[in-house]
Amino acid sequence: MLARLTPRKINDLRKDVLGKAVPASFTLFVATKDDIPAIITLAEKEFGPDTFDHVMYKHYITKGHSLLFGLKQKEKVAAWMMIELNRRQKRIYVTEIVTAKQHRGRGLAKWLWGKVFLLAETLGYKTVTSHVEPSNKKAIALYRKLGMETERRINDYYVSGEDAFYMKREI
C-alpha cells in the first residue's frame, strides 16, 4: 500500500513538487483551518448548493488521505485544488478545482493540474480522476487538453440534478 500523507511527507512534497515553478506573483499554500472561510466564500459562488461545509473542508485539510493546496496572491486565495488519495486503488481523485474570477485565463488551473499529475507520479499513483458537469465547457476543454478521457456519464449526480462526466487519465 502507498504511504499516507503525514505532515512530514507534505513538507517534503511542498519542497520537491508543489513549491517548484510557482507562477510569478503567486505563492504556494497548503491549506490550514484558517483558510477555510475564504475557500468557502469562493466555492459558494461557483458551486452553490453543492458547496462543502466547514466540517467537510476541515476533514479534507486534516486527514492523511487528502490535501487542499493552491496559490495565493498578496495573502488572498487565488486558486486551489482539493484531492483525495485512494491508496488501495492507487487513484488520486480531484474533488474540486477553482480559480477566483479575477485570476482566470492565466494558466493557474493548468498549473494545479500539472501538480496533481506530478504528485501522482512521485507518490506512485496510477490514475487521476474527477467529475465534471457536462455543461461546464471550460473545465471539459481543459481536462481534455490535459489528456483526461470520459469514462462514463452518471445521471443525476449533482444536487442540482445535473449529470456528471467521470473523467480519468492514466499516469
Ligand X SMILES: CC(C)(COP(=O)(O)OP(=O)(O)OC[C@H]1O[C@@H](n2cnc3c(N)ncnc32)[C@H](O)[C@@H]1OP(=O)(O)O)[C@@H](O)C(=O)NCCC(=O)NCCS
* Contacts to ligand X by CB under 6 A: 46, 79, 96-99, 104-110, 132, 136, 138-139, 141-142, 145
CB of 48 vs ligand X, minimal distance in Å: 11
CB of 148 vs ligand X, minimal distance in Å: 12
Sign of CA dihedral 79, 82, 85, 86: negative
Q: Which three cell numbers stand for residue 93?
A: 481523485
- Helix and strand element counts for the chain (H, E): 5, 7
Q: Which is nearer to ligand X, 7 or 161 (CB)?
A: 161
CB of 8 vs ligand X, minimal distance in Å: 29
CB of 16 vs ligand X, minimal distance in Å: 23
Classified as helix, coil or strand, 117 is helix
Q: Which is nearer to ligand X, 4 or 20 (CB)?
A: 20
CB of 12 vs ligand X, minimal distance in Å: 26
Q: Which is nearer to ligand X, 18 or 132 (CB)?
A: 132
∠ at Cα 137 (26, 129), nearest 5°? 70
Which residue type occupies 31? A
Q: Which is nearer to ligand X, 37 or 107 (CB)?
A: 107
Q: Which is nearer to ligand X, 12 or 151 (CB)?
A: 151
Neighbours of 144 (CB within 10 A): 12
Measured between alpha carbons, how far is 21 from 77 in angstroms, rounded to an integer?
18
Pairing, β 76-86 against β 164-170 = unpaired
Classified as helix, coil or strand, 95 is strand
